[in-house]
Amino acid sequence: MGRAMSPALQAIAHPLREHGPVLLADVNDPHDEVLALVWGPRFDREHAMWLWSRLSRRAPQQAVPVLPALMGAAERFDALDVPAQRRVRRLILRHRALRAAWAV
């Protein structure tokens, strides 16, 4: 059985689970978009703002709570040490693989 997710990782995952469906509704591969946010040593706020701007044009009322949650996740990701950041990426990749397996 895998390790339990740490509170720091939960604090990053929660906003993505809560707001991800609406934020990523019109993208081809949501996992690619989330990986793009966390691939480097710092959360890619420019990419996050691009995703949010698309949402705000598509669904302005739904976009309102997403931005603060997204920026909070960015701050928490940036505060993680390098091994924890790597773990976030591995969890996203594992989630993608599990989704792909279920789709077959």
Number of domains in the chain: 1
Residue 1 domain flag: no
62 lies in which domain range? 7-103
pLDDT single digits (tens) 51-69: 999 999 999 999 999 999 9
**Is 82 inside any structural domain?**
yes
Query: Is pLDDT at 1 greater than 60 in this prediction?
Result: no
Query: Is 2 within the bounds of a domain?
Result: no
68-89 in b/e form (b: 16+ CB < 10 A) is: ebbbebbebbeebeeeebebbe
Report the predicted TM-score, pTM, of the whole model to 2 decimal places: 0.85
| Contact (CB, 8 A) for 23 and 51 | yes
The predicted structure's pLDDT at residue 17: 87
Asked whether residue 3 carries a pLDDT value surpassing 80, the answer given is no
For the cut 70, the answer to whether the pLDDT of residue 14 exceeds it is: yes
Residue matched to tokens 């390098």: 82
